[in-house]
Amino acid sequence: MNLLNLQQQVIAISQEVGDFIRKEALSFIKTHHTEFKGKNNLVSYVDKEAEKMLVEQLSKLIPEAGFIAEEGTGERKIDGLNWVIDPLDGTTNFIHGLPIYSISIALIDEQEDILLGIVHEVNHKECFYAIKGGGAWLDGERIFVSETSVLSESLIATGFPYYHEDLKGYLNLLYEFLTKSHGFRRIGSAAVDLAYVACGRFEAFYEQNLNPWDVAAGALLVMEAGGKVSDFKNGSNFIFGKQILATGKIHEEMLEVISDYHKQK
């Protein structure tokens, strides 16, 4: 399998689907076109149609591959290769007309190693991409994580989980980081957050209760840009483990704060 050739084909697919999403945003009416999967968990016909487009076209590239997809289109996780896709990461932003949302596409093997990752930020038309061992790129330019090496000089991204049994505790951890850093940004698309860590706009991103399609592509971007990605215990279970910490040069310091917080609970 030629990953470089495959990457170019997937980039073209993401751009085509991005064009569709931008076009639909012009006439989208949130009160008519929105469904609720759960409290604060929204989905639109745009998510579903975009996912159908992705599944149809990606299936042609690797017919034997399975799918792990947010809306379940063509979903058939298998023991070999799997596409991990989020057709519209940042649906709430899209529905409310906030112009930060993305398409996230990753390819993982049977060991859950990420072979390819693409995050296409739809409105700015920025395409971040990486293949394993090939570095991370933004529209033809090599990207790297921030060189900032201390938490006190860092800008951190996070999100607020839809479902959390200890939301107050999560907010307490947020307070710990807020008082130890330059501050937070919550932009509403985990895939974009990770892409921004990869290119040095953020020094770190962390969140709980995310799904594989939220993080798989962006995690590869960060690692190939020279950063570190782990779960909250510095393990490798960040794709399916519902915890992710992605950083440039402040991984150990971030882990220390998380560890200290959990010891105090």
Q: How far is CA 4 from CA 7, 34, 60, 86, in A?
A: 5, 37, 17, 21
Residue 64 is labelled as binding a ligand: no
DSSP state string for 88-126: EETHHHHHTT-S--EEEEEEE-TT--EEEEEEEETTTTE
Distances (CA, A) of 255 to 160, 165, 177, 206, 212: 19, 21, 11, 10, 21
Residue 89 is assigned to a ligand binding site: yes
Q: Are strands 136-138 and 183-185 parallel, antiparallel or unpaired?
A: unpaired
The annotation status of 231 as a binding-site residue, yes or no, is: no
Question: Looking at residue 69, what DSSP letter applies?
Answer: E
Binding-site residues, please? 70, 86, 88-89, 214
Binding-site residues for Mg(2+), please? 70, 86, 88-89, 214
